[in-house]
Structure 1
Amino acid sequence: MDILDKLKNREEIYYPIERNRNTDLRFTLYDAFLAKKRFERFAPLFMEAFEEINGPCYYKSDLYKSKLGADVYLKLDSELKVAHSVKARGGFNEVMVKVEDVLKENGMLDKFDELSLNDIRKIMAAYTIEVSSTGNLGLSIGLCAKAFGFKAKVHMSRDAKDWKKKLLREVGAEVIEYDSDYTYAVKMGRLSAEQNHMSYFVDDEMSEKLFLGYAASIFEVAEQVASSGLIPSDDEPLHVFLPCGVGGAPGGIAFALRSFFKDSVRIYFVEPTEYPCMLYSFVHGEAASVNDIGLGGKTIADGLACSAPSKLVFPIVDSLIDGFFSFNDESILRAKKDIEEIDEKVVEASSAAALLAYEKINRPKNSILWITGSNVDK
């Protein structure tokens, strides 16, 4: 059956691709390194803002040796403090850059080390940060923006979980709900920000700041891989499975993995059959919406419920990854149950999809399942 027919029929798919080795990736690992240094520079302020933080663990997570198979690990971004998901990496970087930009505009960036958290909050109080989200990015941006004194407006699609909206409202963020999908929430978020010259819109589809915040994970991952005794090579590569929604987070991580490990890593994107936006666009030949082929309904993998891919990531996706997977809700729920029962780790359904891809290609050695979603089960 033709791949497009399989997509339309919501069939589970494994679609390997021949990676393009000639694409200019635009960024370098030095760009990711600068994001890492920003996290370190802001660490004292985060520890003052969030009492739950002990050290820099709000942006570093464990590489956990799983019981799911030989030489398989879980990258537990689900256990990142404060925002509880991979979105903490990109979202926090975006807000920190905005803080730096505002300080620069006010001639105070060179005095950063002298400023207290209250000093920064007073300066940022005149500004608003807006973002559109299916849940986790909104939580990351909203919590971080409020911590540094910004007004925060979070435009939530119909897929967003109630507990995330509640948590945002508890810290004083304004949550706007839409009975529509992520693409519509993005449209409305942009329109809202355009009406206020003091408002800044975080564009999940095009943001380099988000992308590089995710990419900064490479420095901890490389160290964790080495300390775990894994020695990736061209003959025995590292296999990394990344749940994919709009593509910003997996794209940033994939870019960093590819830049560091070169041909000693195999990278795969995993999507729900209701929202295989990156795979559909790849087959279609250009960034497109799965709504065009009758998809885009409800899915248990709410964090991946994005109709169209990132226009920043899509043009380079074929230089980053080695294949796509899509799985239905029934399979994803089974994987979630397996991870929670075998490894006793609470994970969102969207994260659990990574396990299915690992199983689909016969549990390869040296595998990392990137657990991107929250471990807060509400």
Structure 2
Amino acid sequence: MNKVIEGKRIEEWIEAYPHLDEIIKTKEVFWINKNDASNNPNSSLSKVDIVDASERLKRFAPFIEKAFPETTPAKGIIESPLIEIPKMKRVLEKDYEIDIKGKLLLKCDSHLPISGSIKARGGIYEVLKHAEKLAIEHDMLTFSDSYAVLDYPRFKQFFSQFSIAVGSTGNLGLSIGIISARLGFKATVHMSADAKQWKKDLLRSKGVNVIEYESDYSKAVEEGRKQAASDPACYFIDDENSKDLFLGYAVAGSRLKKQLDEMNISVNEEHPLFVYLPCGVGGGPGGITFGLKMEFGEHVHCFFAEPTHSPCFLIGQMTGLQDKISVQELGIDNITDADGLAVGRPSSFVGNMIGHQLSGCYTIQDERLYSFLRTLADQENIYFEPSALAGFYGPIQLHSHRDGQEYVTKHKLQEKMESGSHIVWGTGGNMVPSEVMKEYYQKGFTIN
């Protein structure tokens, strides 16, 4: 361990941040963010930007409804159900010998239309914004038009002059590839070694160019950037630095508030809300956290979940180094079945945007993901891909881990937990082929 990271040997980093020792040994950890929320940096984004993104998605709703008939019930708005899962809650309480105080809810982004994952928020939004910009610049569209016209052949012919590129571990590539191809763009998805074969096959069936790499996510992103830099007509969607992706995710905050209101669930000083979000590079959970904080302020507590072998956001936040440190530099292999979370280096843009808003991070073993997968299927008849189950360990850790209880005490929440709510954010799974899902389910018997 003689390696030097930002002027310090790894031993010195461990001495400064003792949790690092367990993280390097790929043990499950639960870390509370000590960064004082009052030290809010000047954000380059605000509620106005989220409203602008929300209005843009409304403008595109007629096109979405026409191009993707499965969105007709919601009139072209891409949104997912929020449901209570009492059976799952009872089993988790029994299996882990705890009492989860308050309601346990599931946000089913696994069932978002078009691409079946949380990436249908940010990924689709950024492509739509780019398409709008091009069409308006070329005098083919005005804000007052019905955007249903975008499904006409002349628009597809127009967009075919342009290309879109992205680097992805899977789901972001799916969302961007599907919507780009449907609009008429030439789409290229640079896929890391972690990406599942069925996702590559599905993209190719939609006419998307998929380029595979033996390396991880960072290499896929790097190659995507190179492609865009060499072609003036190519637009690169940068998962590590994109404000538009971030804002597409952030729209979820106001929509979730509406769903909670419809369920008569309050979020205020006496009714805290805890949200557990699987995390890869940070964009999805970061954007949603930003949106939730805009709606609920200090009354919402957001925790990010990462695989024990890919805890990049946790490391970046804990050390304050953001993207100046990777899991590989600490000797962690970044190999996990949770393909959407297999990221070795976090987004510094997201880390700096929401680091002060984050309540904490925790890590979870792959085996436990499969155990949750099986339990959710058995108890609620809901099927997720492995990475989407990471949120379920959050309420367990908050109620049983010493640091979780310390968090509750520090924020004076002890007497309010019974009237609170916990939302596990299910990030993907609806498009997983049935034979692959059966394999996932069988793996759920490997851990008790």
Q: What is the TM-score normalised by the length of structure 1?
A: 0.96
> How far has the Cα of 1:58 moved from its partner?
5.6
Alignment correspondent of 2:104: 72
> How far has the Cα of 1:192 moved from its partner?
1.4
Query: Matches of 1:271 and 1:14 in 2, distance apart?
Result: 10
Alignment correspondent of 2:30: 14
Q: 1:20 to 1:160 in 2, by over 3 A?
A: same
Q: Which amino acid aligns with 2:38?
A: R
> How far has the Cα of 1:26 moved from its partner?
2.4
Query: Matches of 2:202 and 2:210 in 1, distance apart?
Result: 10
Alignment correspondent of 2:273: 238
Alignment correspondent of 1:339: 376
> How far has the Cα of 1:284 moved from its partner?
2.3
Q: Which amino acid aligns with 2:56?
A: R
Of 65, 81, 95, which aligns to 1:47? 65
Q: Which amino acid aligns with 2:351?
A: F
Contact 1:277/1:309 (<8 A) preserved: yes
> How far has the Cα of 1:22 moved from its partner?
2.7
Higher Cα Rg, which structure: 2
1:219-238 paired onto structure 2 within 5 Å: 219-238=254-273
Q: Please, what is the CA RMSD of the aligned residues?
A: 1.7
Alignment correspondent of 1:281: 316
Specify every segment of 5 or more residues in structure 1 that has no aligned partner in the other structure, as ranges: none
Establish whether residue 206 from structure 1 lines up as the match of residue 241 from structure 2. Answer: yes
Query: Matches of 2:142 and 2:266 in 1, distance apart?
Result: 42
Query: Matches of 1:359 and 1:351 in 2, distance apart?
Result: 16
Of 96, 101, 104, which aligns to 2:128? 96
Task: Indicate the SS of the match to 2:142.
Answer: helix
Q: What is the TM-score normalised by the length of structure 2?
A: 0.81
Query: Matches of 1:323 and 1:171 in 2, distance apart?
Result: 39
> How far has the Cα of 1:11 moved from its partner?
0.8
1:1-378 paired onto structure 2 within 5 Å: 2-18=18-34, 19-23=36-40, 24-56=42-74, 59-67=78-86, 68-69=88-89, 71-110=103-142, 113=145, 115-118=149-152, 119-287=154-322, 288-362=325-399, 365-378=420-433
Higher helix share: 2
> How far has the Cα of 1:104 moved from its partner?
2.7
Query: Matches of 1:337 and 1:375 in 2, distance apart?
Result: 15
> How far has the Cα of 1:53 moved from its partner?
2.7
Query: Matches of 1:221 and 1:294 in 2, distance apart?
Result: 39
Alignment correspondent of 2:439: none
After superposition, the C-alpha distances for 1:260-313 in whole angstroms (9 at most, x for unaligned) are 101111110111111110111122221221111011332121110011111211
Contact 1:296/1:305 (<8 A) preserved: no
Task: Indicate the SS of the match to 2:346.
Answer: coil
> How far has the Cα of 1:196 moved from its partner?
1.2
Query: Matches of 1:264 and 1:10 in 2, distance apart?
Result: 32
> How far has the Cα of 1:116 moved from its partner?
4.3
Q: Which amino acid aligns with 1:61?
A: S
Alignment correspondent of 2:99: none
After TM superposition, the structure 1 stretch with the greater mean CA deviation from structure 2, 206-215 or 334-343, is 334-343
Indicate the percent of aligned positions where both proteins have the same amino acid. 37
Q: Which amino acid aligns with 1:369?
A: V
Q: Which runs of structure 1 show a deviation greater than 3 angstroms over 4 or more consecutive aligned residues?
A: 55-58
Query: Matches of 1:241 and 1:348 in 2, distance apart?
Result: 16
> How far has the Cα of 1:111 moved from its partner?
6.8
> How far has the Cα of 1:112 moved from its partner?
6.5
After superposition, the C-alpha distances for 1:126-180 in whole angstroms (9 at most, x for unaligned) are 0000001000000000000011110000000011111111111111000001111
Aligned residues: 378
After superposition, the C-alpha distances for 1:92-151 in whole angstroms (9 at most, x for unaligned) are 110111111111321333276263412321211100000010000000000000111100
Query: Matches of 2:43 and 2:426 in 1, distance apart?
Result: 25
